[in-house]
């Protein structure tokens, strides 16, 4: 039986994360585990292949893991720095897509607008991978559930609490969490909830895996009994002007030792990084033995390699 009966199509792209059903996510995690265990086995798998990386925003983890990942699979990367001018300013995005597809075998793009990714995918016959947009961060969430599976041995019924802004990372945790059968509880300040359409989509997928999606305002209620406590920055890239106002609103949502006390005894702390220490998380939590943030960072490499193998292989 298909794990998801909802009308989701599997495409050659990874734009939102909603295109991949539960079986495809399991396949990805399986492959990532093998890539991690036997990196040498895959060292020539993408020989002769080229990958374009278009970044409208800064990056450490995503850029390095895609570049190192592609090269360790035998392929090559071309980095297109669009942190000064946005894609589409010099020439129309469809023309960028139609040109790139003549030279390279895949596009990884980090954009402000989700529409930029959708346009690239609509006009290029090669795979397009979302390396973070204002709306989603699918590679991050797929990797984080891989990290949690390693830690807990399974994901069905795992209780994850996300505390903070209902942003791109939160959206992708909802979408991916519903597919892997994890219970996802989100606590945000009023007015900063995740997008209602994404919550509805996650709830539809959650019905198939019998997981629960809850959107709350109390961080204490969200974290109570959770096995994984996740937070992210209060102001995302592009929201720098709002940082001061947001700091005041989000202060009660800081993940500190008192909040972690409410979680399950074996609870872990997660953060996609970069973190603002002393804001959304204290040093005491992020540097504690419960913190698995650098395991998350490492696994971005193995997941990125598995994504490239599945889409470009
Ligand atoms: N977590 C993450 O995507 O980090 P970067 O912004 O450094 O790529
Ligand atoms: N929400 C953050 C995630 C960074 C990886 C941002 O978009 O800036």
pLDDT of residue 2: 35
Ligand 2 mean position, distance from CA 277 (Å): 15
**Whole-number percent of the chain with pLDDT over 90:** 96
Tokens matching residue 135: 């709306």
The pTM (predicted TM-score) of the whole model is 0.96
Name the CA dihedral angle for 90, 60, 286, 235, rounded to a multiple of 10 degrees: -10
Give the pLDDT confidence of 190-245 residue by residue, as tens digits: 999 999 999 999 999 999 999 999 999 999 999 999 999 999 999 999 999 999 99
Q: In this model, does residue 11 exceed pLDDT 80?
A: no
128/108 Cα distance (integer angstroms): 6
204/173 Cα distance (integer angstroms): 15
Q: In this model, does residue 1 exceed pLDDT 50?
A: no
Ligand 1 mean position, distance from CA 272 (Å): 7
292/269 Cα distance (integer angstroms): 6
Return the CATH class of domain 140-294. alpha beta
Q: What residues does 162 pair with on adjacent strands?
A: 186, 230
Q: Is 143 in the pocket of ligand 2 (CB under 6 A)?
A: no
Ligand 1 mean position, distance from CA 6 (Å): 30
* Unique residue bearing structure tokens 């973070």: 132
Domain residue spans of the chain: 22-136+298-312, 140-294
Q: Nearest to residue 219, comparing CAs of 246, 191, 248, 250?
A: 250
**272-286 average pLDDT score:** 98
pLDDT tier at 9 (50, 70, 90 boundaries)?
Answer: very low
Q: Nearest to residue 22, comparing CAs of 38, 8, 33, 32?
A: 8
b/e burial code for range 212-236 (CB count within 10 A of at least 16 → b)? ebebeeebeebbeebbbbbbbbbbb
pLDDT of residue 220: 98
Architecture of domain 22-136+298-312: 3-Layer(aba) Sandwich (3.40)
Ligand nearest to C-alpha 236: 2
Ligand nearest to C-alpha 237: 2
| Residue with CA at minimum distance from ligand 1 atom 3 | 62
306/283 Cα distance (integer angstroms): 32
């Amino acid at each position: 039986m298909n794990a998801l009966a909802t009308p989701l199509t599997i495409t050659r792209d990874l734009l939102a994360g909603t295109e991949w059903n539960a079986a495809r996510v399991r396949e990805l995690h399986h492959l990532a585990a093998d890539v991690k265990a036997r990196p040498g086995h895959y060292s020539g798998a993408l020989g002769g292949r080229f990958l374009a990386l278009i970044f409208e925003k800064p990056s450490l983890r995503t850029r390095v893991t895609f570049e190192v990942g592609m090269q360790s699979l035998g392929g090559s990367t071309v980095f297109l720095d669009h942190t000064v001018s946005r894609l589409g300013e010099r020439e129309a995005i469809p023309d960028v897509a139609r040109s790139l597809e003549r030279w390279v075998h895949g596009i990884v793009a980090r954009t402000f607008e989700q529409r930029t990714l959708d346009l690239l995918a609509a006009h290029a016959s090669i795979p397009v991978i979302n390396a973070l947009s204002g709306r989603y961060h699918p590679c991050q969430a797929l990797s984080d559930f891989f990290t949690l599976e390693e830690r807990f041995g399974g994901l069905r019924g795992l209780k994850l609490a996300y505390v903070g802004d209902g942003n791109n990372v939160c959206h992708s945790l909802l979408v991916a969490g519903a597919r892997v059968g994890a219970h996802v509880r989100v606590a945000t300040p009023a007015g900063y909830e995740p997008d209602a359409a994404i919550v509805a989509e996650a709830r539809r997928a959650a019905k198939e895996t019998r997981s629960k999606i809850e959107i709350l305002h109390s961080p204490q209620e969200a974290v109570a009994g959770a096995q994984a406590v996740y937070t992210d920055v209060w102001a995302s890239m592009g929201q720098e002007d709002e940082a001061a106002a947001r700091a005041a609103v989000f202060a009660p949502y800081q993940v500190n030792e008192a909040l972690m006390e409410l979680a399950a005894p074996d609870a872990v702390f997660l953060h996609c990084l970069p973190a603002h220490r002393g804001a959304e998380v204290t040093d005491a939590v992020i540097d504690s033995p419960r913190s698995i943030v650098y395991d998350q960072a490492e696994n971005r490499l193995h997941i990125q390699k598995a994504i490239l193998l599945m889409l470009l292989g």
